[in-house]
Structure 1
Amino acid sequence: MDHRILQTTRELIDEVGYPALTVDRVAARAGVGKAAIYRRYASKAEMAFVATVHEQRLPLPAGTGSLHGDLLALIRAFHVRMATPAARQLAPALIGELAGNPELGTRFQDTFLAAERAAFAEIIEQAVARGELAGAVDPATAHLLLLGSLASALYILNLPVDDAMVADLATAAAAGVTALADRHRGVPGGAAEPR
């Protein structure tokens, strides 16, 4: 049933666009009740986000042997999902819903963003274990440096993001994470040193 709901959502977004998408339309075409959809997703925006960006499992940290390589593999995988026409339609609507619905915002933080940050935590842990980083860095900061920049480029600045830009974002994020690890080295709890 989950697959049917999400596949139908993708089809309808392609056919009629996100603004014309409704839970009623998805339920009717998928042959499920609206209650079944609302048990899974708190809103139309969440359902569409899962269908277009976050349905598949998150890419596992690539284990390329370098921080830069792992961040590059991760951002390339996310770029494929985040740059689709459906995702570009959906992101502004989802951002608006998150701003006006604290419950949905909490759910989004506790599910999707927590899973993304866990991937960053693993990449950072591997880089520390290899001796590539001087110490741990907050995964939320690494997430912001890499995927926050990608989201801003795609959804706010409407830039034509190509693989060269994706590679540049990975390079900048790797340099930022390395600089933060160096700055926090030797400070209990990883807090920033006073300026």
Structure 2
Amino acid sequence: MPDEQTPRRPGRPREESAERALLEATVELLLEHDDPGKVTITAVTERAGVARATLYRRWDSREELIAAALDVEREVPRVPDTGDLAADLTSWYGPTEFSGDDPAVHRLFRARLVQAVNNPELRRVYWENHVRIRREPLLERVRAEVARGGLPSGTDVEAFVELLSGVGYYQFLVRPDDGLGLDRIHRAVRLLMSAAS
């Protein structure tokens, strides 16, 4: 463990500040433009006031930078384990960006969809670096249910979570918000559990 008197390495706070500035600039550009082509390295570095070399010390590509910006301030969610799988999985959808009234949050979520549809490489990077990691707690919760016998041993956990995710996206992106989205997700989980059995 380093001695408490050891001075902080020079330049580190500046690097962190530059990273924040680059992410903030990227988010601003994503929210301003529907055209993914407008979010360029040049536009980001000029908006952030940061050199391109600094950007490339942190991210290897434009896609990695955009993926990081699309996920800024998001955390890997924790799925509770109360013993009631339907309630636990339903509660996971409560505090997501699907819900709430912040228009910037909703616009950033739409930007994720637009960017991913228009850029297959970004979709791959975003999946590998962000979505796949956030999805793991859902998989773990369903695996735990299988292990304790709440679902049959042959349950296809990947397919279960894929179907559940599809229901969630449909409720919050396709249907008008009538306040019943979480109830429909809860019913869908119950139906999936029944079908798996």
TM-score, normalised via structure 1 length: 0.68
Give secondary structure in 2 for the equivalent of 1:56. coil
2:151 alignment counterpart: 133
Distance, in Å, in 1 between the alignment partners of 2:93 and 2:111 is 20
CA displacement at 1:25 relative to structure 2: 2.4
Which entry has the higher C-alpha Rg, 1 or 2? Answer: 2
Aligned-pair identity in percent equals 23
2:28 alignment counterpart: 11
- Change in Cα spacing, 1:161 to 1:135, as seen in structure 2 (3 Å) is farther
CA RMSD, 1 decimal = 3.2
**Runs of at least 5 residues in structure 2 that lack an aligned partner in the other structure:** 1-15
Matched, 1:40 2:59: yes
Give runs of aligned pairs for residues 100-115 of structure 1, distance below 5 A: 101=121, 104-115=122-133
Distance, in Å, in 2 between the alignment partners of 1:176 and 1:69 is 13
1:85 alignment counterpart: 107
Distance, in Å, in 2 between the alignment partners of 1:171 and 1:89 is 29
CA displacement at 1:60 relative to structure 2: 1.2
TM-score, normalised via structure 2 length: 0.67
Task: Name which of 181, 185, 190 aligns with 1:165.
Answer: 181
**Runs of at least 5 residues in structure 1 that lack an aligned partner in the other structure:** 183-195
The answer (yes or no) to whether the contact 2:77–2:134 under 8 Å persists in 1 is no
The answer (yes or no) to whether the contact 2:85–2:145 under 8 Å persists in 1 is yes
- Residue 94 of structure 1 aligns to which amino acid in structure 2? A
Give secondary structure in 2 for the equivalent of 1:77. coil
The answer (yes or no) to whether the contact 1:5–1:26 under 8 Å persists in 2 is yes
Aligned residues: 173
More helix by share: 1
- Change in Cα spacing, 1:50 to 1:161, as seen in structure 2 (3 Å) is farther
Distance, in Å, in 1 between the alignment partners of 2:130 and 2:195 is 27
- Residue 79 of structure 2 aligns to which amino acid in structure 1? P
